[in-house]
Amino acid sequence: MDSETPAGSPVPHPSLSRDLQSEASVPALLHSLHELRNSVLSLAANKEHIFSGSQSQDISVWDKKTFTLKRTLQGHTGSVLALEIAKERDWLFSSSGDSTVRVWSTVELTPIYVLVPYLETGAGDLFSLSWSPTLQTVYVGCQNTSLQWYDFGEQVASASSSAASSPHTQPSSFTELTTSVSGTSTPSTITRKVHKFFDSYPQYERKPADIYARNPTGGTNSPDPDNVCAPPLHGYLSIPAVNVIDSAHYGYIYCMAILDTKDSVQIATGSGDEAVKVWNCTERGPVFVHEFECSHGAVLALVARGETIYAGCQNGYVKVLDLETKTLVRTIIVQESVDILAMSMLDSDLYTCSADGFVKRWSASFDCTASWKAHDGIILSSVISRGGLAQESGFRLITGGNDNYIKIWEIAPPKPRKDTSPFGQVPAVDGVLPNMDDQPLIDTLTYALSKFVSIPSVSSSPAHTEDCRQAAIWLKKCLGQLGAHTSLLPTGEGKNPLVLGTFQGTNNGRPKPRVLFYGHYDVIPAPAEGWDSDPFILTGRNGYLYGRGVTDDKGPIIAVACAAAELLSRRALGLDLVFLIEGEEECGSAGFARTVKKYKAKIGDIDAILVSNSTWIEEDKPCITYGLRGVVHCALEISSDRPDVHSGVEGGAVMEPMLDMVRLLAALTDSQRRVLIPGFYDDVRPQTEEEKELYKLLSVVTQQPAASLSSRWREPSLTLHNLEISGPKNATVIPALVRSQVSVRIVPDQDLDTIVKALCAHLDTSFESLQSPNKLKIKVEHTADWWLGKLDDPWFKSLESAVQDVWGVAPLRIREGGSIPSVPYLEKEFGCHALHLPMGQSSDRAHLPNERISLENLHKGKVVVEHFLMDIAEKCVPNPRH
């Protein structure tokens, strides 16, 4: 094994939300109310009452002071699916599976109106309601995918005027009512599609709406046939055809949220088509504004606060959507594959209610601050209200489930958040950060990195193939939670997928630049020997984080992702940032180019490429890398027709493969280390005077000779890596087979294909000159071209300015002797320049034991990226689009 962490080790939970709950954080259960054999499908509350809509067609009215049943409102002939309070009118709206909306007085607890949707029973179940105090309009979400509304200002006045002039304002039968509404007679019974969440019983036949249902006038707990009230006080209303948007969604409209301010009114609608739509509400009706794709099952619950919408989805995810920028800000993983059927908010605290009976509370920073089992079944509804007594100023979370109970929980608004800086939040002391869950001050960046590092995504080891796949899946979910639209791109059988994630910037009316951030989630092996701590447990010591991949390249990936998320949250992301993260970089990026070409249209146009996959040349001098050498990796094999033989028997009588290999390798360089491949140096770009001055400056900074820096960064070289032999490897055996690996580093303006051909030709010619009966095999295993940035490019100058703004000094311009195959490829494929921002220090020990990265470098690297993205969004013009 490569490390102490076994292959297939447990994958960390994908949620980036910290678990900050404790036993003390769970709200106290104040009271329980029992609905006899009735699932509680809907809830509403005002100052005096709790209203619960049941599966048995009735609405129970509970006294908030005494917690006793005060009245039962009857009239619906189907399950009561939604309740909505119109506080300023003292009204309660209820909608049902019987295709009617009823309006009740919350003071007299008597019916006022019956509102019938357009097409009546053709509208199906009326799943959702929203009331606008500003427009005095109720909005209805229907099973037939229509959005309907009724204006209780203008249209009620019109209806009242018509009623006064007509002696027949009350229809004599249900059939007459439906005919007057839709223009056609609707059958009195219709087969209704059962809803898997609201209905726990087999399919049934819908009864006609009982528009003449009587309600008790006294305070009894059950209907009394001798104690009935009059029909609805103001009669029967119908939604006109002009107040209908057909096919508002491609699925049932399960939920709504109203955003009603003095300046504007908007509603958000959630549907089984996995989308949230936003509508501007005018006096003439809703006007479509924007659609958010949620992509995690039906949207079953919506709440809104300010200009933020929270969408609870069927698969256990909450999407946090920003109305101002029309972007996905965050995804909260509540519990995967467990439906979220109700949500409520108290200030910045979000309460999610799930099908497993759990309620969870989430803070403004998306951390889970409380979680408790609230019901023995599915939680179907929730509402937040103030306490029932005049002297009480506290709040109550009221939940209802299919266990026939209403639960009342004592809750409090969130405490004001302290203004904490992200710097220094991780203790700079020896010791392991225990799951990062017990550290309330640890920021999202470090918390996410702890989970990322815990996955041993060693791409070179077949034993870790599944770990690499899980790392890709985890990263996809991580980017999604931070606000990106994500997917996995397959690279071929047996290869690790690419992770594609796009943070969509604010549309400010002009073309947005699109920047591609390239990185890799795979790491090299981390044998336990030499490490002071487990390489796959993020450990903090003296201001550094230790773990395999923290500097190469998991730390920079998370830092850039958090930078994008930060700008999204501030509505300051003025461009699209596209993450393209591979899992084969440490093994030569197999399948990368082919996959990028295949999915190029999905990736989209790119104006610049950002990379962060190297380190500074010193401890305290920030740098920008503007050049990389290319590489050719070549495997050589010389073999004999004979098997391994004894040197005491055959020595001197056979042509030994080992001697052939030694002579062949010796023909590659001379005693001055110059490469002997013909024409090898012909196209090397001469060093300019500007470069010479730069190397002099760097020589002073690094205390290294300028010639040494130049030879490492901008001159070609050849390296012999190893020799391997067959047989028992003892001193008496002549091996029949010898292998070696050779690499060549190339620089501007050497041509990669020309060098490959010249290397192979030189090896063949040199071997032929040995006149050996043995056989030579040459295999070019991997190549990568050189890369050189544009120092006068406006993108490069913006990056330099960002580094100087954050660190207070101008960055050093450096080159790297290593290679990143994907960088020059991406430049050519997308026709744009690349930029390379190192985050770590020279002592980070990438690929070595005790790999580390400074907390300061990590956090300041994030801020540098923020400054850079904001600057280029303002200054840099996108390339012409194809």
- Counting Cβ atoms within 10 Å, is residue 240 exposed (0-12), middle (13-18) or buried (19+)? middle
Contacts of 178 (CB under 8 A, 6+ apart): 116, 120, 121, 185, 186
Catalytic residue (choose from 199, 522, 586, 844): 522
Cis bond before residue 90 (omega within 30° of 0): no
- Residue 298 near residue 284 (C-beta atoms within 8 A): no
> Does 356 qualify as catalytic in the annotation?
no
Q: Quote the DSSP letter at residue 25.
A: G
- Residue 734 near residue 645 (C-beta atoms within 8 A): yes
CA distance 876 to 177: 63
Give the HSE-up count for residue 514: Cα atoms under 13 Å, Cβ half-sphere: 17
Q: Quote the DSSP letter at residue 587.
A: G
Catalytic residue (choose from 273, 582, 585, 827): 585
Q: Which residue has the tokens 């088509």?
A: 273
Strand pairing category for 308-313 and 405-411: unpaired
Contacts of 361 (CB under 8 A, 6+ apart): 21, 25, 349, 350, 351, 368, 369, 370, 371
CA distance 217 to 71: 9
CA distance 335 to 318: 10
CA distance 42 to 65: 20
- Distance of CA 768 to CAs 234, 664, 678, 741, 872, Å? 106, 10, 16, 19, 57
**DSSP result, 369-393:** EEEEE--SS-EEEEEEEE-SSTT--
> Does 23 qualify as catalytic in the annotation?
no
The backbone torsions φ and ψ at residue 558, rounded to the nearest 5 degrees and listed phi first, read -65, -35
CA distance 823 to 782: 15
What secondary structure, in 3-state letters, does 84-148 show?
A: EEEHHHCEEEEEECCCCEEEEECCCCCEEEEEECCCHHHHCCEEEEEEECCCCEEEEEECCCCEE
- Take residue 776 and report the two structure tokens written for it: 């030579």
* Residues 254-292: b if buried by 16+ CB within 10 A, e if exposed: bbbbbbbeeeebbbbbbbbbbbbbbbebeeebbeeeeeb
CA distance 739 to 742: 10
Strand partners, 281: 286
CA distance 494 to 505: 35
**Active site residue ranges:** 522, 585
